[in-house]
Amino acid sequence: GQNIDQPTEMTATEGAIVQINCTYQTSGFNGLFWYQQHAGEAPTFLSYNVLDGLEEKGRFSSFLSRSKGYSYLLLKELQMKDSASYLCAVGNQGGKLIFGQGTELSVKP
Amino acid sequence: GAVVSQHPSWVICKSGTSVKIECRSLDFQATTMFWYRQFPKQSLMLMATSNEGSKATYEQGVEKDKFLINHASLTLSTLTVTSAHPEDSSFYICSAAVLSGYTFGSGTRLTVV
């Protein structure tokens, strides 16, 4: 079966660092994606991992361990505008993109 | 590049009527389009995969006679919600696979009254 788990909500302080975890079990694996989504809008692509290790892109980094079925998204120097839903998604062998339930991040002053 | 244009952005319809949502790939050919539904404070749930020139494949639990998908050309896929009811009120969004990953339409907010 397919299962993607991430925390429902998190709260962090402006300027801090936050790590959002994601564990997955899917039929086949064709890469792991992280998206940011504001309510009522389309998801915005943040990162893509297909090999184990850390991918860094500015304030955002994403890590993948395929053997553990685990990924995390790291957000540094948090800003108020980072308050949003963060979606972990896995591409499966059929080319479909399957999403986790999303983590609602609230950044407070 | 790789833009998907989705219309309408929002629609309000009466219960029992049908609503068509269009997704057009503007600068590439989309042989496959994915359709998702998102309820408030929930994630995107894959409804179906539309394939140009052939029948769509639906995810378990999605009624194919209620959610009609047509993918008659390489640049246009449509989702028609037939005999809509208030419980069909949701955010519908399409997506296409491209070289750099997946590109999304802007979404359609459907409200059935």
Say what the pLDDT of residue A94 is: 78
Mean pLDDT value across residues B29-46 = 92
| Residues of A engaging B, defined by a Cβ cutoff of 8 Å | 31, 33, 40-43, 45, 48, 87, 94-102, 104
Mean pLDDT score of chain A, rounded to an integer? 94
Nearest to A40 among B34, B45, B109 (CB): B109
> Residue B35 — very low, low, confident or very high, per pLDDT cuts 50/70/90?
very high
> In this model, does residue B109 exceed pLDDT 70?
yes
Percentage with pLDDT > 90 across chain A: 86
Per-residue pLDDT, B41: 85
Nearest CA in chain B to A33: B101
Asked if residue B7 has pLDDT above 90, the reply is: yes
B43's tokens:
């994630």
Residues 6 or more apart whose Cβ sits within 8 Å of residue B55: none
Yes or no, beta carbons of B43 and A98 under 8 Å apart: no
What is the per-residue pLDDT across B69-91, written as a single tens digit (0 to 9) for each?
A: 999 889 999 999 999 999 999 99
A12: closest CA among A91, A78, A73? A78
Nearest to B104 among A42, A94, A98 (CB): A42
Query: Which tens digit of pLDDT belongs to each residue from A24-72?
Result: 998 889 999 999 999 889 999 999 999 999 999 999 999 999 999 999 9
The CB-side HSE value for B93 (13 A sphere, CA atoms) comes to 22
In Å, how far from its chain's centre is CA B11?
A: 14
In tens, the pLDDT along B13-31 reads 999 999 999 999 998 998 8
Least Cα distance to B51 among B87, B76, B17, B14 occurs for B76
A44 forms beta bridges with A36
| Cα distances (Å, whole numbers) of residue A87 to A35, A98, B32, B104 | 5, 10, 22, 14
* Confidence band of A1 (pLDDT split at 50, 70, 90): low
Of A45, A96, A99, the CB nearest to B101: A45
